[in-house]
Amino acid sequence: MTRSTPRVALVTCQEIRESGYDRDLPVLADAVRKAKAGGTGADVAVVSWDDPDVEWGGFDLALIRSTWDYSWRPAEFLAWADRCGAATALANPPEVVRWNADKRYLGDLAAAGVPVVDTRYLAPGDPADPAGLPTDREYVVKPTSGAGARYAARYTPEEHGTAVRHLERMHAEGLTAMVQPYVRSIDTAGERALVFFGGRFLHAIRKGAVLEPGTAYDDDKVPHPNLRTWQPSPAELAVAERALAAVPGAPELLYARVDLVDGDDGTPRVMELELVEPNLFLFLHEASVPVVAEAVVAEAAGRAALR
């Protein structure tokens, strides 16, 4: 016997619930409550992923939204995703969350022929110096598990010693580092984020450079500066779709965000593929809110019918 009204959990974290930093969350919750996909509405609860009192099996769909503290506690978060996914439908699925929570997935995309930003990885135990850091251009050092530019910094070849100390700090904390050339086009063309929902392109934004020269890796940073709406080119859409098609197992993704930059040759490359808890930037695209809400309710109703 199924419920007449599906139940949806919008999953966040306690810090975001207290701060209200996720501007989309209350708007989306209200829109999902009012949506009538398939002739039904939805009951909505905004809950923290690590709240021990939440009964995940009482929901027909748990939609990961602003769990933006997960990169500080990745093992706990991935264990939660497995538990939640065993109790109810989790979007995106636990296996996708696990694969995407570690940015070594860029190597998988590259192996599948997707154009990505060149990346090297240095795990704890690998020598930090010499580490093969670039000597002819600026570069970026950041962790493979991170969000909001946490522990990320931009260096010139002359700042080698500072970069090595950055690597040593990450390794001491058990973090694997990734080293990428600094993509110069970000300073002029910015970074574009293409959002997909329900398997279809939804909208896009452009943001400015996050990593300013001389900013320390442990300084707070603005993760999405100078936001504006964006109309992606056919080439950008094609690269984004190639990246999504290369996700292992070709799973059904309720949501996705593909972050692109222009390589030195001017063609788009994947900077990040966000399948865990991407900001969807609904506050810049208000017309997308009912589209997302209807898709969420339809997914929840379909899951409820199978229970």
165 & 197 share domain: no
In a domain, 98, yes or no: no
Number of domains in the chain: 3
97 in any annotated domain: no
Is 251 found in the same domain as 207? yes
In contact, 84 and 10? CB cutoff 8 Å: no
Same domain, 215 and 110: yes
- Which residues span the domain enclosing 129? 120-181
Percent of the chain with pLDDT over 90: 80
Judgement on whether residues 165 and 35 belong to the same structural domain of the protein: no
Q: How far apart are CA 170 and CA 18, in angstroms?
A: 29
275 with 127, same domain: the answer is: no
Tell me the two tokens of residue 267: 């063609």
Q: What is the CA radius of gyration of the chain?
A: 20
Closest CA to 8 of 54, 67, 76, 71: 54
The residue to which tokens 């978060």 are assigned: 77
Same domain for 232 and 154, yes or no, is no
Over the chain, what is the mean pLDDT?
Answer: 92
Place of tokens 């589209």: 291
Tell which residue, 113, 19, 7, has the closest CA to residue 63. Answer: 7
pTM over 0.85: yes
Predicted confidence (pLDDT) at residue 125 exceeds the cutoff of 90:
no
Looking at residue 1, its pLDDT comes to 37
Tokens of 279: 């900001």
Average pLDDT in the 112-129 region? 88
Residue-wise pLDDT for 149-162, tens only, equals 778 999 999 999 99
* Same-domain pairing of 277 and 294: no
- Whether residue 199 is predicted with pLDDT greater than 80 in this model: the reply is yes
Q: Mark whether 110 and 207 lie in a shared domain.
A: yes
CATH number, residue 242: 3.30.470.20
Which of 157, 181, 205 marks a domain boundary?
Answer: 181
Q: Has residue 99 been placed in a domain? A: no
Residue with token string 């197992």: 249
| Residues 66 and 167 both lie in one domain | no
Is there a contact between 105 and 155 (Cβ–Cβ < 8 Å)?
no
Q: What is the mean pLDDT of residues 97-101?
A: 97
Give the residue among 265, 241, 219 at the shortest CA–CA distance from 117: 265
Domain match, 267 and 290 both: no
Clarify whether residues 110 and 255 are in a common domain: yes
Residues 301 and 294 sit within 8 Å (Cβ to Cβ): no
189 and 75 in one domain? no
User: What is the model's pLDDT at position 2?
Assistant: 46
CA-CA distance, 195 to 259, in Å (whole number)?
9
